[in-house]
Amino acid sequence: MSALNLNHICLAGRLTRDPVLRKTSAGTPVADIGLACHETYADKTGKQAQHTHYFDVVAWNKSATTVAEYLTKGDPLIVEGSLVSEQWETQQGEKRNRVRIRAGRIHFLGAKREKTETPCRPGKPPTSRAPISNDDAFGAL
């Protein structure tokens, strides 16, 4: 008997903050991203209501550097990836855990900037609408 294992998530939303780029001790680029996704539904009275869900996303390697270079707070994007459960202990001995999304592909949704517009980050925006994909989406922890 075989078990089905699937860990895939796809979210569309907007950045809640500018990406934060850092490097591991081995020099691997890592970007931390906040993503907000809105859910619209009918409440008990039948009126349309909205709830916003917030997600922490981590991107590795080329995806990390590209996201940090070209995206800023409020930019729309689609993130495809997997859920990652992390557990650690604080210096005070308290056990902590969280679930984040490990990005495998990131699709930019914003319109291409005109030459007269000043980009929020140095460099020119990507000219391709193709998704950014990591060579190694899981990176080195």
pLDDT of residue 3: 72
C-alpha distances in Å from residue 60, one per residue of 14, 40, 111, 134: 19, 31, 24, 7
Predicted structure pTM score: 0.72
pLDDT of residue 133: 54
Backbone angles phi, psi at 87, to 5 degrees: -135, 140
Tokens of 125: 């925006």
**Residue 67 to residue 129: CA distance in whole angstroms:** 14
- Are 29 and 61 contacting, i.e. CB atoms less than 8 angstroms apart? yes
pLDDT of residue 110: 74
Within 8 A by CB and 6+ apart from 19, the residues are 31, 32, 33, 59, 64, 67, 68, 71
pLDDT of residue 5: 86
Which of 100, 31, 102 has the alpha carbon at shortest distance from 70? 31
pLDDT of residue 103: 95
**Tens-digit pLDDT string for the chain (141 aa):** 567 889 999 999 999 999 999 999 999 999 999 999 999 999 889 999 999 999 999 999 999 999 999 999 999 999 999 999 999 999 999 999 999 999 999 999 876 555 444 444 444 444 444 455 554 444 443
- Are 36 and 56 contacting, i.e. CB atoms less than 8 angstroms apart? no
pLDDT of residue 112: 54
**Residue 40 to residue 38: CA distance in whole angstroms:** 7
- Are 105 and 67 contacting, i.e. CB atoms less than 8 angstroms apart? no
